[in-house]
Structure 1
Amino acid sequence: MIGIVSQASNIKKEEHPEYTKESFLLLYPQFRGAIPDAALDMYVDLGLSCVNYKRFNRMWKAAIGLFIAHFCTLYLQSMQPEGTDASQVLASASSAGMVTSESADGVSYSRDESALNDLNGWAAFKMTTFGVQFATMAKLVGRGGMYVW
């Protein structure tokens, strides 16, 4: 009975194949040398902790790659050179939102930050194309019932 209940719960144990920084860089070479190795290692570890192989199955390599690429992109959006003024660091680290309108000679554009405040949705995953793709895949595999015994 416990086996049936645990299968029906939709909670998956964390076991996964090997996935390394080099595995990631084979698919996303644009990040090689773009961010510090320590940051990339951290995001690979984060992906291994958050993206469950048993839930994604054959889509797992694509999902973990998109997850890591998303966080690397957010890192790059906020990255500033060493010695940068504190106000510049704060400005680059603030949530930017999606560009909703632009202008050319008048140099004006607007951003919509409402999607980022929607933590019931996918919040920061909406900030990059990698995140949107990951969220789409996660919604596909995240369906199903849950029973806590």
Structure 2
Amino acid sequence: MARRTPRPPSRPRPSVTEGSPCPCGLPAAYGACCGRFHTGQSAAPTAELLMRSRYSAFVVRDEGYLLRTWHPDHRPSGVDFDPAMHWTGLEIRDTAEGTVFHSTGTVTFVARYTLGGEPGQLHERSHFERHGGVWVYVNGTFTE
């Protein structure tokens, strides 16, 4: 009898359920927080909430959501998730504009991760704008 070698999943999804704490750090369950944006149940009403939901999308490896919330002029063809990278926390450092009364906004944040077991941090100032009535990610500048 031939022995089959199981194929590893191409992109394993971390175990985040609707009832899990939301990866974005807000005191709500994932399903009631960023999960509702990921499913399309509602759209993020501010640039900060879009930033948080995009971070959570990286945690759960939701490529579709990330691409849908990327400005079409800057959107890549796909998102290459590194299976050795695990996002471990998000800290919002600053926001400017980005409310329901604005058309642009910025969010400065630190996203923590481990890569191959080694801790790291990503510092970025992200730029957002309204496109077709919804907030989208335009681009980001790495900061220290």
Larger Rg: 1
Name the structure with the higher strand share.
2
Structure with the larger RCO, 1 or 2 (CA within 8 Å, 6+ apart): 1
TM-score, structure 1 as length reference: 0.30
More helix by share: 1
TM-score (norm 2): 0.31
